[in-house]
Amino acid sequence: MSAPSPATAATAIGNAAPALPQHALPSYLQADQLGPWGIYLQQVDRVTPYLGHLARWVETLKRPKRALIVDVPIHLDDGSVAHFEGYRVQHNTSRGPGKGGVRFHQDVTLSEVMALSAWMSIKNAAVNVPYGGAKGGIRVDPRTLSRGELERMTRRYTSEIGIIIGPNKDIPAPDVNTNEQIMAWMMDTYSMNQGSTATGVVTGKPVDLGGSLGRREATGRGVFTVGTQAAHHLGMAIQGARVAVQGFGNVGGVAAKLFAQAGARVVSVQDHSGTVYREAGLDVPALLAHVAEHRGVAGFAGGEAMSRDAFWDTPCDIMIPAALEGQITLTNAGRIQARMVIEGANGPTTPEADDILSERNILVLPDVIANAGGVTVSYFEWVQDFSSFFWDEEEINARLVRVMQTAFDAIWQTAQQHRVSLRTATFIIACTRILHTRELRGLYP
């Protein structure tokens, strides 16, 4: 065994250790080497000057409260054993239990899950639901698994993270490549381990298992709600507006449908399989039916196929990135023709691209408010599960719109007041709320 370095040795003897620079972040949390987490840290730094006396607590936001890495071994159908890496990160629980989705994707990393969990803290505080932020994921391409393998992987993962989740501790929900069925398996696994049915442990469940009406459409509906409000501020009519959407799943598909229903022209749609374009507007219901059958937009006869890269040049008024993070970058931000970008996805715009869009006077509705509709209705679902009393869809949609509009109005006013972007304004409101509760609670012990 090699000799400990001076720093390690000093740390090992406790009181004799030289003081670390105050607030030094552990290396795995530092900004420069950590894609999405680094981006999040830069966003926190940007907002710190606006936090007044609460800035003394800001370091709380720069560290996840708890991060769990789990091995997920399963039997594949051919009898062999495969191991997957899973994560659950609880970023902050000052305002309530952790809350955030679970993602199954081959590119999932700890840095990504940490950033997504932190953005959940911000988002939940921005719409003022009583939750902290959390997120989970498994590094896997679920399309390579059979249904049986997917179920076994989901159940084993749920069992492994079962020590930190629970209806009052941390409540997962769907995200990329996870859906109502995955939530049903998660709920069942957790309930089996607990010995009683615990519907409140996840949201985004099937309605017959304590899910909420309106949950599936909630994120897209929220995107549409804040998009409409912002368009009003810009003096832009939705009727006839040209919309380009990247990602045509739960968020992008629903947002496209609602914009089309309101009279907008959805001119371009891109997903993992390809890109389709039609100047007069794509037939969105027909495209949704095509995707349901063929698992992607490629091959849709009602539009022209476009190259993946040409999507960013689409002549449009509104662009909705609703796929993955890191899509709008230094390379393509200068080419976007929209007047407004609505971030349906989490983290789709890099900070450099954000600056370019702002210089070009393109309004960005940031993820931390634009896609908060999902977690808002997740909150309604959790409340309904606890009271075992379920609301009708009309009531849910009306409450969702009210929450989103109230939050967006406050963000718009804060942005005007401080002359900052909507992203910074959302962070100002959210960080203030989180750190205020931190201060009220004080530090244990």
Stretch that binds ligand NAD, among 21-29, 190-198, 265-273, 420-428 (CB under 6 A): 265-273
Distance CA(121)–CA(95), nearest Å, equals 9
> Measured from the CB atom, is 112 or 188 closer to ligand NAD?
112
Closest-by-Cβ residue to ligand NAD is 249
> Measured from the CB atom, is 215 or 339 closer to ligand NAD?
215
> Measured from the CB atom, is 93 or 327 closer to ligand NAD?
327
303 binds ligand NAD (CB under 6 A): no
Minimum distance between the CB of residue 209 and ligand NAD, rounded to whole angstroms? 17
Minimum distance between the CB of residue 10 and ligand NAD, rounded to whole angstroms? 42
176 binds ligand NAD (CB under 6 A): yes
> Measured from the CB atom, is 149 or 175 closer to ligand NAD?
175
272 binds ligand NAD (CB under 6 A): yes
User: Virtual CA dihedral for 201, 138, 67, 110, nearest 10 degrees?
Assistant: -150
Number of neighbours of residue 363 by Cβ within 10 angstroms: 20
Residues 345, 404, 428, 435: which binds ligand NAD (CB under 6 A)? Answer: 345
> Measured from the CB atom, is 60 or 384 closer to ligand NAD?
384
Residues 112, 149, 151, 175: which binds ligand NAD (CB under 6 A)? Answer: 175
> Measured from the CB atom, is 51 or 102 closer to ligand NAD?
102
- 135: annotated active-site residue: yes
Distance CA(155)–CA(377), nearest Å, equals 25
Stretch that binds ligand NAD, among 52-60, 72-80, 277-285, 338-346 (CB under 6 A): 338-346
Site string for ligand NAD, 233-252 (x = CB under 6 A): -------------xxxxxxx
> Which of 158, 270, 276, 175 is closest to 219 using CA atoms?
175
Minimum distance between the CB of residue 308 and ligand NAD, rounded to whole angstroms? 7
Catalytic residue (choose from 65, 99, 123, 135): 135
Stretch that binds ligand NAD, among 11-19, 71-79, 168-176, 181-189 (CB under 6 A): 168-176
Tokens representing 412?
């718009």
Residues 322, 353, 400, 434: which binds ligand NAD (CB under 6 A)? Answer: 322
Stretch that binds ligand NAD, among 18-26, 62-70, 229-237, 322-330 (CB under 6 A): 322-330
Distance CA(259)–CA(238), nearest Å, equals 7
350 binds ligand NAD (CB under 6 A): no
Residues 323, 336, 341, 428: which binds ligand NAD (CB under 6 A)? Answer: 323
Residues 60, 124, 371, 376: which binds ligand NAD (CB under 6 A)? Answer: 371
Minimum distance between the CB of residue 440 and ligand NAD, rounded to whole angstroms? 28
344 binds ligand NAD (CB under 6 A): yes
210 binds ligand NAD (CB under 6 A): no
Q: What residues does 236 pair with on adjacent strands?
A: none
Distance CA(226)–CA(259), nearest Å, equals 12
Residues 219, 268, 350, 397: which binds ligand NAD (CB under 6 A)? Answer: 219
How many residues bind ligand NAD (CB under 6 A)? The answer is 23
Site string for ligand NAD, 54-83 (x = CB under 6 A): ------------------------------
Distance CA(2)–CA(17), nearest Å, equals 20
346 binds ligand NAD (CB under 6 A): yes
Distance CA(132)–CA(208), nearest Å, equals 27
Q: Which residues are catalytic?
A: 135
**Chain residues that interact with ligand NAD, rule: CB under 6 A:** 174-177, 219, 246-252, 270-272, 322-324, 344-346, 371, 374
